[in-house]
Structure 1
Amino acid sequence: MNHDTDHRHITAEPRRRIELGSVEALRLLGSVSLGRIVFTQHALPTVRPVNHALDGGDIVIRTHEAAALTMHARQTEGPGVVVAYEADDIDPDTHLGWSVVVTGYARLVTEPGELARYQGMLRPWVDQSMDQAMRIHPDLVTGVLLTADGRPGEV
């Protein structure tokens, strides 16, 4: 990016950060289709962009058999793989908007009928076979609204 030709106006007004309740945070997360999943790979944090859908309060993503997260989930016993999921809608010019982070356990969907339903709900956005699905149950949901005047407006 050439800073001499970047003429975007960024407001100088101070922003206010308003904490969102979990219900409102999940509502906002459900209003967008793209987020980022964070998990560990070789004991280090790994982030992948994915599309998602909400289903009964859980976040559902599609993946493929050779994906690192899929392989990690197949090797994990117990409640699933610990993950964080983040989605946001922040205006690049004003820096106003919202961000939501969900922490919980991701499990592979193995029931054929449920897997078929998720395959119908979520269309892959990459040119690759996405034959698996994962369901993330939110154990911790946090969200923030970034406003110019401190008043929650229409988001």
Structure 2
Amino acid sequence: MYPNDGFRELDRDECLWLLATAPIGRVVHTRQALPAVLPVNFSLDHDGAVLLRMSAVSDLAHAVDGVVVAFEADAADADTHSGWSVVVTGRAEIVTDRAEIDRLERTGPRSWVPSPEEVFVRIEPELVSGRELIGGRTLYGSHLSSRSPGHAGP
């Protein structure tokens, strides 16, 4: 990344703190040898793992179990030209330990679309990266939001 490009790298703790504030994220996995991205609700476990809850018979549950995936969440404010994005990369596993399932039933995410048979998927945070847009978007030193519509020059 170039200095002064308007972004600030986030450390792991900042990334996890921001992730905890997001209601929706995206799972990136492989489907028929191509990248696929699906929005999901989620929560973070005490160790920073991303937790998903979904139908046990869903295509997503079968596609991600035992493979490395990426998980992304972000927030943006169009008025202030600010925001952040966090990516967690790691192995996804369907939780099979009964004690762990019982704990996640109490503390894990709730399905927005409940199904008769659900599973929890844990994404271990092997790589965590993020960046924040700082300073807003500028053109020749002036914030674009302060310019009148149609004004092209300084």
Q: TM-score, normalised by structure 1?
A: 0.76
Match of 2:39 among 49, 60, 70: 49
Cα separation, partners in 2 of 1:130 and 1:53, compared to 1, 3 Å? farther
Deviation at 1:132, TM superposition (A): 0.4
Q: Number of residue pairs matched?
A: 132
Which 4+ stretches in 1 moved above 4 angstroms? none
> 121-130 vs 84-93, which deviates more?
121-130
CA contact (8 A) 1:62 1:119 kept: no
- Which one has more relative contact order, counting CA pairs under 8 Å at least 6 apart? 1
> Partners of 1:17 and 1:127 in 2: how far apart?
38
Cα separation, partners in 2 of 1:118 and 1:92, compared to 1, 3 Å? farther
Deviations 1:103-146 (A, max 9, x none): 11101100122123223321111254461011101111110011
Q: TM-score, normalised by structure 2?
A: 0.76
Alignment of 1:115-130 (within 5 A): 115-120=101-106, 121-129=108-116
Match of 2:49 among 43, 58, 77: 58
> Which position in structure 1 is the counterpart of 2:83?
97
Identical amino acids, percent of aligned pairs:
44
> Cα RMSD between the aligned structures?
2.2
Structure 1 unaligned regions, length at least 5: 1-13, 75-79, 150-155
Structure 2 unaligned regions, length at least 5: 137-154
Cα separation, partners in 2 of 1:35 and 1:136, compared to 1, 3 Å? same
